[in-house]
Amino acid sequence: MTAFDANWSLMTPEIVLAALALLVFTIDFMTGIHGKKPFIGKLSVMSLLVTAVLVFLTNSTSGQIADVFVVDGFAMIFKLIILVGVAMVILISMNYLDRNEEIYQGEYYSILLFSALGAMIMVSSADLITLFIGLEILSISSYCLVGFKKYHRHSTEAAIKYVILGGTASAFILYGMSFLYGLTGSTSLRVIGEAMPQLFADYSVMMTISFIFMLVGFGFKISIVPFHMWAPDVYEGAPTPITAFLSVVSKIAGFGIVLRVMVFGFLPVYEEWIFIIAVLAAVTMIVGNAIALTQKNTKRLMAYSGIAQAGYLLVPIAALPFMGNFSLSMILFYSVAYLMMTLGAFAVITLVTEDAGTSDLSSFAGLFQRSPYLAVAMTVFLVSLAGLPLTAGFIGKAQIFFGAVSADLLWLAIIMIVMSVVSFFYYFSFIKQMFMTEPKANDKELQVPVSLSAVVTVALAVTIILGIMPNFLLDIFTTLNWFALF
């Protein structure tokens, strides 16, 4: 297939988003560098909504561009999750940027749009080259966003660490890919998947090395143990809305591409990697929850919480060969739940910590007296993250638990339950501060901006609705044609 024969209409959402990102940057440039520009944030949200509509319309039917870019149910759902997540991050950012005028708003918003573009390309990739291009667009955008508070030492330090370790992770991924290309002569995941059984039979050592190198690189991107060391420092130093972005949107996009590689490339030899994934899931859950118990800084605590959540999301991948499409439904459902409860929590964290001027847990002291709605909403998000009943988090974890049991991974399911119980102890530290501690003498009633209130309200509604009526979303997932390439 030549470039002239390809159905480029399949990439309409990505092309439109790239054009809108450039438009946002151009409008910002033409209206001056400094000053508050709320219209730029609103335009960025509208750009994401337009792209989401195009994804729904364009991706409703399956198709592909020369085994390079594929459109199917899997890509559509992940793209919609990514776009909604970035839109919520922008809404959280609006008040934050008004308080931090050193951050140039147009650049900030346009780079966020480009990061969404990279994530969308990633989850539609059916080729190693396309995959890497999308990954690097997302990664480079993330490096820039982490260091946006350039006059703050912690932000600059976080950006430097992220660039160095992120570049190293990309090198691991490329090196692992080079083995696959060298032995198959192709970068197509479909071709690699077809050749994989014979490759493992003839070149088992080289294939194992390839898998391990790629796993190390992707493990960094989704912050699983032992490749998580960057996360606490980067999360702490980054602007708080960007911490939310890294914790949710970037992580979910990373899981999307891990699933693509596992399903297309390595599923025919699942017996070679399933135990490795299961062990990584267990270690990630244990280490993330254990270290989170000792944290007093909200952003570092949420960083270790995010690491533990990555462990939960690895469990369905370990069960994938046994559960098939049900594993994909579990991952997608928990991704939606994780998106809402985490971004809702970060919306509250952003407002509270900026008002207090510190990220310590003590900034939440007496929040119930200062803003009852935020305190109650934050409590719902926390108990959902812990996996308590009547919340989306509980339904998501329950599905993953039963999936692990059905896949004969009972030991992993038990670890998951125990670690969920442990997680409540550090989430309770927020609740204790909000309801059982008096506010400081100079603390006043919190004024909640409209944009941030909208994020909290939507996240709270979805978290509760999915906890009570999960079939509303699960029924949609069960009817989708997940993968068009096979």
User: What does 168-189 look like in DSSP terms, one character per residue?
Assistant: HHHHHHHHHHHHHHHHHS--BH
Q: Is 45 helix (H, G, I), strand (E, B) or coil?
A: helix
**Mean pLDDT (whole number) for 407-421:** 90
**Inter-residue contact 223 to 230 (CB < 8 Å):** yes
Q: What's the pLDDT score for residue 2?
A: 53
Q: Which residues contact 444 (CB under 8 A, 6 or more apart)?
A: 370
Q: For residue 284, name the pLDDT band (cuts at 50, 70, 90).
A: very high
Is the predicted pLDDT of residue 1 greater than 60, yes or no? no
d(CA 18, CA 161): 28
pLDDT surpasses 80 at 38: no
Give percent of the chain above pLDDT 70: 94
Position of tokens 């032995």?
183
Give which of 382, 85, 101 is closest to 249, Cα–Cα.
85
The string of pLDDT tens digits covering residues 380-409 is 999 999 888 889 989 989 988 888 888 888
- What is the mean pLDDT of the segment spanning 277-282? 92
Residue 250 has pLDDT above 70, yes or no: yes
In this predicted structure, what is the pLDDT of residue 362?
A: 86
Question: How far is 276 from 279, CA to CA, in rounded Å?
Answer: 5
The percent of residues in the chain predicted with pLDDT above 90, rounded, is 32
More confident: 482 or 223: 223
| Range with the largest mean pLDDT of 73-77, 131-135, 152-156, 438-442 | 131-135
**Mean pLDDT taken over the chain:** 86
In this prediction, residue 4 carries a pLDDT of: 55
Q: What is the mean pLDDT of residues 88-110?
A: 82
Predicted local confidence at residue 3, as pLDDT: 52
Q: Say whether pLDDT at 435 is over 60.
A: yes
How much is the pLDDT for 91?
A: 92
| 8 A C-beta contact, residue 349 and residue 371 | no
Q: Report the pLDDT averaged over residues 297-310.
A: 90
Query: Which residues lie below 8 Å from residue 466, measured CB to CB, with a gap of 6+?
Result: 333, 336, 337, 340, 391, 392, 395, 472, 473
Calculate ∠ Cα 380-346-368, nearest 5°. Answer: 50
- CA distances to 257, 337, 392, 398, 456 from 123, rounded to whole Å, are 5, 19, 24, 26, 27
User: Is residue 104 scored above 90 in pLDDT?
Assistant: no
Helical segments of 31-104, H only: 38-58, 73-99
Q: How far apart are CA 12 and CA 20, in angstroms?
A: 12
Please tell me what DSSP assigns to residue 263: I
Cα separations (Å) of 159 from 124, 147, 170, 231? 28, 5, 16, 11
The larger pLDDT score, comparing residue 91 to residue 480, is at 91
Q: What pLDDT score was predicted for residue 41?
A: 83
